[in-house]
Amino acid sequence: MAVSDPSPAQCASASSRAHPKARPGYGKRSVPEQRPPLEGDFAFLPDRERHIAGYIDALPDGAVMDVKSLAKVLPLYGQMAVGSALRALSVAGHLRRVRGQSGEGDQVRWVTRTYWSRTARDNEWWGSFLAAEGQRSGAAPVAGETVVAEVAAPVPVLVPQQRTAEPEPEPRPRPEVNEEKRPSKAFMALARLGRADARLALSAADCAELEPLAAEWFERGVGAEYLTSALIAGLPDAVGSPFGFVRRRLRDKLPPRLPAPTPRPVSEAPLRRMLAECTECRTPGRPEAFLDGLCRPCRRPEPGTGSGQVGKG
């Protein structure tokens, strides 16, 4: 993947129209315990994704997050471009969509929410967070049911014979093949240090040796941009040994291990029977059926279409 110039995150040029607010219960939801914005947020995303991520990050909770509405206020990008960018941001670990029932009696409706994290999170973190949200709201996903989304209408809301995302079967052991192992997020973050600052350029052997130390940062919930910012901050004029310097900082600046996030209370009624939703095709299903916020068919595009995925670091 070609890495963009690591400049500060910028918002895509927006129209003069104020960004619309979603109906009660819909729209953007920031995950709890977010760190303050940094100058280099989203710096390692491609230009389009970096700009749109910066714009979304600045939106208040409750802002409209559907593709059509975002495209109206982002004149540089059409609906297809915005949709592709949201898919990439989901793969990069910044957002997840969910559906849930809201209301009582005959006024029950399904609402769609988009959870947003300034820091890129891995699938394990998102899985724990959505599970905690489901427990808090008493959600009980039901296999075989799908729902109407983005329509604030009374019941009935169930639509029969519509595809739902199902959990993938347990993978079968495969014989070893002579394939080059895909580099880990920790390895790639170290390999890109030299592009962020030439004084910290590392060799492939250096990256492999330092990989376990960097991996521990990712295990503690930080993303590649946070790791890079911590390693390149306040560099001396000359670094005699990039390997030794990075190793020392990886050990000395290791962030604390934070407890699992606790969903914050919200003023509106909690969601019931919460379902995850594919960022690409909007198919609902059990959270464990999704990887990078995508259902299985959307993760496996037909040959020749290209995946268009953006890495998490």
Determine which of 91-100, 144-153, 245-254 has the lowest per-residue pLDDT on average: 144-153
Q: How confident is the model at residue 85 (pLDDT cuts 50, 70, 90)?
A: very high
End-of-domain residue from the set 213, 231, 252: 252
pLDDT of residue 260: 62
71 and 157 co-located in one domain: yes
Number of neighbouring beta carbons within 10 Å of residue 296: 16
CA gap 76, 156 in Å, rounded: 39
If pLDDT is split at 50, 70 and 90, which confidence band does 312 have?
very low
Task: Give the lowest-confidence range in 92-101, 137-146, 182-191, 213-222.
Answer: 137-146
Report the mean per-residue pLDDT for the chain: 75
Domain termination site, one of 252, 269, 290: 252
Domain that holds residue 120: 27-165+260-299
Give whole-number Cα distances, 128 to 11, 134, 255, 257, in Å: 30, 10, 20, 15
| Whether residue 159 is found in the same domain as residue 272 | yes
pLDDT of residue 142 exceeding 50, the answer is no
Tell me, yes or no, whether 131 and 190 share the same domain.
Answer: no
35 and 147 both lie in a single domain? yes
Instruction: Tell me if 47 is assigned to some domain.
Output: yes
CB 287 within 8 A of CB 137: no
What pLDDT sits at residue 293? 82
Residues 34 and 125 in one domain: yes
6 pLDDT more than 50: no
Q: Which residues in 139-162 are b (16+ Cβ under 10 Å) and which e?
A: bebeeebbbbbeeeeeeebeeeee
Domain match, 115 and 212 both: no
Q: What is the reported pLDDT for 148?
A: 31
Shared-domain flag, residues 113 and 208: no
pLDDT at position 267 is 42
Whether residues 44 and 132 share a domain: the answer is yes
Q: Kindly state whether residues 231 and 199 are assigned to the same domain.
A: yes
CB 27 within 8 A of CB 63: yes
> What's the pLDDT at 295?
83
Q: Which of 276, 279, 302 is nearest to 289 (CA)?
A: 276
* Number of structural domains in the chain: 2
Same domain, 199 and 264: no
What tens digit of pLDDT does each residue of 240-256 get?
999 999 999 999 999 88
Token digits of residue 52:
């749109």
- Residue 172 belongs to a domain: no
In a domain, 245, yes or no: yes
In a domain, 36, yes or no: yes
For residue 143, the model assigns a pLDDT of 34
Residues 82 and 202 in one domain: no
End-to-end CA distance of the chain: 11
10-54 pLDDT, tens digit each: 554 554 457 878 777 678 889 888 888 887 888 888 999 999 999
Residue 290 lies in a domain: yes
Place 305 in a pLDDT band, splitting at 50, 70 and 90.
very low
CB 7 within 8 A of CB 71: no
Residues 158, 36 share a domain: yes
